[in-house]
Structure 1
Amino acid sequence: MWSMLKNVASVKVFYLVFTRIILATFWRNLWYWNTLEDRLLAYVKKTAVEGDPASVLAAFEKYIQNYEWTIAIKSAQKQKTEEVVKKAAPKICFEMGCYVGLSAITVASQIPPGGRLITVEYVPKTADVARELVHFAGLDQVITVVTGTAEDTIKVLRSEYHVDKLDFVFVDHCKWQYLPDLKLLEKERLLRKGTIIMADDTLWPGAPDYLEYVENDPRYQTERFYRTVPMFNVRDALAISVYTGDD
């Protein structure tokens, strides 16, 4: 019976995703002859204050709430991320899954002077939008947007980006890559004792192998920050882990 209910719920969520996001975005793209990312960029530039990250973030949220749903980090995760980053005061940060830069700007606006964030986006067009928004927010000297895969970027963090150890990692890219890319960070010895890793969407769409790993490996201390995705009424969680292994 429970399995049947779960299947019904999954079908309902899929229907909502298809009709409210995929189909709606498709028709808007045809109507306006541009993309969601183009519209978001134009709105932020029109309504936010240039050089003011808080104003840019507020414009992001207003657009998402009032106009179009996007895969960018939402209000609850944003607030929790700001809280964690502000408390930890990381200097060297790495993000897997930049999209248009909302989470990157969120993190960068909380790190101390002299800190920096390297963020990776696979889609070139989206990476270009992220760079424009980062520039508009006045954070060019803090945020580096890399076009490519997290895997390829991790392998050159030392040689090309002069990273020794990472203080903070934000994970929000392909869910099936969460665990392989975390293990690659371990293999490359980029984590230090105390590195914080925040992973979004671990319950929905879900990264079960990643969750099982960070919640059972003794080198990680992990807690979940739960939230409900309002549009779909499904439960999700940020997994916040502290690496306690050897440097």
Structure 2
Amino acid sequence: MMWLTLFYSCTGVAALLYILYRWVIPTAVQHHGGLALIWHVIIVEWIMDTLTQSTRPQRILSAVQKNATRGDPRSVIRAIDQFCSQKEWAMNVGNEKGCILDSVVSEVNPATVLELGTYCGYSTVRIASLLPPYAKFITLEFNPDFAAVARQVIAWAGLEDKVQLVEGASSDWIPKIKEQFGIKTFDLVFLDHWKEHYLSDTKLMEECGLLRKGSVLLADNVICPGAPDYVEYVRSSPRYKSHYFRSHLEYTKAEDGLEKSVFLE
């Protein structure tokens, strides 16, 4: 009888913990960006990495290979969005802000693009799928494990010939881009790496002459986790004309947004 009671007690506790993990806590943090990041990035990712002996990017890649059609960029995007909204959150730009990204890419119709922060290649696929055949697209990723996954995601989307993925620190590569890739200036720059580097890398691009009159900078996560020094700079500097696109942190209801800044000189 004692063992039966213990069994039911353990089962009840396990069920409660699962309900908390699967529904209660995720729902509770939906409207608070900071709590959502702590829960999904620190706690859940550690739990899943420990249980599966894999990484979140590897699990995203598996979802793409299982659910997306090879050579179809939009099916790759749908597979990642489905995985991140239904199974395991990840810090891609996400579908809501992704639509804003799509509209900016289509509006600018860039011939040269720089992406700072590839992660698993989600935004890379969105951007590359909208570029004309002659466009040059460079994406920089500091983490070699992320880069390895991103290459496979990009290839699964059939876009490997349109993307040059470069591993290393943005501060190291930005001064070498003209010499290494023969690109004079960028029509579009998408900032989606470490938020504390947004401002320093933007100033470095200015110093290196990688921005021309009309170049567009589009920065993600300017509210959550936030890049206040960058936002203050592009909004107050006479060198930029900026516009904020209000949206939500990917796969949540917490406020976040994109800052579009046009370089004026």
TM above 0.5, yes or no, is: yes
Distance 1:59 1:216 in 2: 39
**Could you tell me which of 79, 93, 101 is aligned with 2:99?**
79
Post-superposition Cα deviations, 1:146-200, rounded to whole Å, max 9, x if no partner, equal 1111111111111111111101000011111100100000000011111110001
Query: Does structure 2 conserve the Cα–Cα contact (< 8 Å) formed by 1:108 and 1:116?
Result: no
| Deviation per residue, 1:111-145 (Å, 9 max, x gap) | 11211210011110110100111111111111111
Separation (CA, whole Å) in 2 of partners of 1:232 and 1:42: 23
Which residue does the alignment assign to 2:14?
A: none
**Residue 151 (1) aligns with residue 171 (2):** yes
Residue 101 in 1 paired to residue 121 in 2? yes
Partner of 1:124: 144
3-state DSSP class of the match of 2:193? Answer: coil
Question: Could you state the TM-score of these two structures normalised by the residue count of structure 1?
Answer: 0.91
Q: Within the alignment, does 1:167 sit opposite 2:200 as a pair?
A: no
Aligned mate of 1:113, from 128, 133, 139: 133
Separation (CA, whole Å) in 2 of partners of 1:208 and 1:190? 23
2: distance between equivalents of 1:87 and 1:17?
31
**C-alpha distance in structure 2 between counterparts of 1:231 and 1:105, whole Å:** 18
Q: Aligned pair 1:222/2:242, yes or no?
A: yes
**Matches of 2:33 and 2:106 in 1, distance apart?**
34
Moved over 2 A (4+): 12-21, 228-234
Question: CA distance change for structure 1 residues 120 and 230 in 2, over 3 Å: closer, same or farther?
Answer: closer
Task: Quote the offset at 1:202 in angstroms.
Answer: 0.9
- Structure 1 vs Structure 2 CA RMSD: 1.6
Which residue identity does 1:120 align to in structure 2?
Answer: L
In structure 2, the residue matched to 1:142 is: 162
Give the equivalent residue in structure 1 for 2:255.
Answer: 235
Q: Distance in 1 between matches of 2:259 and 2:218?
A: 6
User: Matched residues in 2 for 1:93 and 1:14: separation?
Assistant: 30
| Structure 1 unmatched ranges of 5 or more | 1-8
- Number of aligned residues: 235
Match of 1:89 in 2: 109
**Alignment match, 2:201:** 181
Whichever of the two has the greater Rg, that structure is: 2
- Structure 2: stretches of 5+ with no match in the other structure: 1-28
Which amino acid in structure 2 is aligned with residue 74 of structure 1? G
Corresponding residue for 2:20? none
Q: Which has the higher helix share?
A: 2
Q: SS at 1:60's partner residue? A: helix
Residues 1:200 and 2:220 are matched in the alignment: yes
Change (3 A) 1:170 1:223: same
CA distance in 1, matches of 2:102, 2:253: 24
Ranked by relative contact order (alpha carbons within 8 Å, sequence separation 6 or more), the top structure is 2
Tell me which amino acid in the other structure corresponds to 2:196.
Answer: W
